[in-house]
Amino acid sequence: MARLHLFDLDGTLLHGTSAPVEISRQLGLEAETVALDREISAGLIGPPEYATRVHALWVDLTEAHVAAAFEGAPWLGRIRDVWGEIRGQGDYCAVVSLSPSFFVERLTAWGAHAAYGSRFPAVPFTEPVDPAGVLSAAAKVLIADRLCEEFGVTRADCVAYGDSLSDKDLFGAVPVSVAVNADRHLAGLATHSYMGMDLWEAYELVRSSR
């Protein structure tokens, strides 16, 4: 039976940062977005409010800023190698993130079968963000179920990789999980734990268990 590997983005594939912080860095608004990241990590605000506030910061955002943020971000090593092997084995890999879809979807070019993020308007913005399109921890599980149906697998065939509170629901829904540079919210929940800068090393924890 094929397996579906589900990867979080912020703090997982990106080391010690989030897509919004990397985008904001291009606009000189890194500190403001780091503060927002702290608020949502502490549960002081929810994903819709976070999306609305970060959208308001990005009034001058262009595609060039997004491309520069993506290319310059501190990615874990060997992401494309991991996804290449997953594909070569007939398995599936997808990214599911609360970050903006216009950033997350770029990862399909690296080999992800699918990439889902919170729906933001096209860049440059001419309309507000719709809170109904902003993902949550619970939405990650719904998307995972949708991907299972699409790829012909079940939750029992899934492996989740994550680092924080937004991954807690998904870790509880699948049998195998890898906490990658994780915070306290995933303590004791993951099947495996990895600290480091190389996705291949995290993948090796589950590579042989089928």
Check residue 116 and give its pLDDT. 98
CB 176 within 8 A of CB 163: no
CB 190 within 8 A of CB 182: yes
Check residue 210 and give its pLDDT. 64
CA dihedral in degrees (149, 150, 154, 160; nearest 10)?
-120
Quick one: what percent of the chain has pLDDT higher than 70? Answer: 100
| This prediction's pTM | 0.97
Residue 12 Cα distances to 19, 86, 167, 197, angstroms: 11, 18, 10, 10
Q: How confident is the model at residue 188 (pLDDT cuts 50, 70, 90)?
A: confident
Q: How confident is the model at residue 41 (pLDDT cuts 50, 70, 90)?
A: confident
d(CA 150, CA 170): 18
Size (the chain), residues: 210
If residue 70 lies in a helix (H) or strand (E), which one and from where to where? helix 63-72
User: Counting Cβ atoms within 10 Å, is residue 110 exposed (0-12), middle (13-18) or buried (19+)?
Assistant: middle
Q: What is the pLDDT of residues 123-168, one digit of tens each?
A: 999 999 999 999 999 999 999 999 999 999 999 999 999 998 899 9
How far out from the chain centre does Cα 135 lie? 11
**Closest listed residue to residue 40, CA positions, set 49, 31, 32, 29:** 49
Q: How many helices (H) and strands (E) does the chain have?
A: 9, 6
Check residue 165 and give its pLDDT. 86
Q: What is the pLDDT of residues 73-114, one digit of tens each?
A: 999 999 999 999 999 999 999 999 999 999 999 999 999 999
